[in-house]
Amino acid sequence: MAVRLRVDQLTVMRRQSAAIDRLELQIDGAELVALVGPNGAGKTTLLRTLSGLIAPQQGSITLLGTDITHLAPEERVKRGLVHVPEGRRLFGALSVAENLELGCWCHGDRDLGRVLGWLPELQSLLEQPAGSLSTAEAQLCAVGRALAANPAVLLIDEISLGLAPAAASRLFSLLPELVSTGMAVLFVEQDVGRALSVADRVYALDRGRVVAAGPPGELLVHKAFRDFELGG
């Protein structure tokens, strides 16, 4: 089977400097992959480039064997690359159900059963305007909307930002469940310890470059990663 997601020599310029610098990344199949790194490392830029919101200057992105580097964002969603953006971007005046249904546009099947199976908390909120949700509920709704698109690769930026510990734990417990159904998940997490504790593999980014990558156990004995964790 084709490699799920492959990034080759990706370079993205922002304000005359490279926010992403010849980056290489590969997700072979259903894996839980964390992206960590300091502020300004390029994590958001990478996810936005993968989902087609920013055009790279160089390099390629391949999804399930197809070169998607120059495809429009909606074409990428149709092919299974779905992004939960920083800040969630829900439609506040629409109900939770309507927000979830928007996630279904790419395949037309508006049955929310699978999403509600993963996120049963959303069931009692379906008729509420998304603008009235708590931060934790809004994050579940944003993840639910992405899941409604049936992703092969799910990208999640700042997954636990602004969430109380219990709400963050809830979301982290969902991720291995998604992977067990065959999905690949690439998520950005500020808390490196937390990312290491749940992920199958971790990419550590600094100044647009991968400074260390591998399973958490390997990274912890990797000098570059220890220096990086200590802010060196």
Ligand X SMILES: Nc1ncnc2c1ncn2[C@@H]1O[C@H](COP(=O)(O)OP(=O)(O)OP(=O)(O)O)[C@@H](O)[C@H]1O
> Residues in the site for ligand X, rule: CB under 6 A?
14-15, 19, 37, 39-45
Query: In Å, how far from its chain's centre is CA 79?
Result: 16
Least distance to ligand X from the beta carbon of 129, Å?
Answer: 28
Name which of 43 and 201 has its Cβ closer to ligand X.
43
Q: Answer with the entry of ligand X, Mg ion, none that 160 interacts with (C-beta below 5 to 8 A by kind).
A: none
Query: According to DSSP H, which parts of the chain are helical?
Result: 43-50, 73-78, 96-102, 113-118, 135-148, 165-180, 192-198, 216-219, 223-229
50 contacts 7 by C-beta, under 8 angstroms: yes
Least distance to ligand X from the beta carbon of 15, Å?
Answer: 5
Name which of 126 and 224 has its Cβ closer to ligand X.
224
- Interface with Mg ion (CB under 5 A): 43-44
Q: Answer with the entry of Mg ion, ligand X, none that 37 interacts with (C-beta below 5 to 8 A by kind).
A: ligand X
Least distance to ligand X from the beta carbon of 174, Å?
Answer: 22
> Which candidate, 153, 211, 162, 226, places its Cα nearest to that of 184?
153
Query: In Å, how far from its chain's centre is CA 6?
Result: 15
Q: Can you tell me the distance from the alpha carbon of 90 to that of 184, in angstroms, rounded to the nearest whole number?
A: 23
Q: Answer with the entry of ligand X, Mg ion, none that 103 interacts with (C-beta below 5 to 8 A by kind).
A: none
Q: What amino acid is encoded at 223 in this protein?
A: K
Name which of 14 and 110 has its Cβ closer to ligand X.
14
Name which of 25 and 100 has its Cβ closer to ligand X.
25
Q: Answer with the entry of ligand X, Mg ion, none that 15 interacts with (C-beta below 5 to 8 A by kind).
A: ligand X
27 contacts 7 by C-beta, under 8 angstroms: no
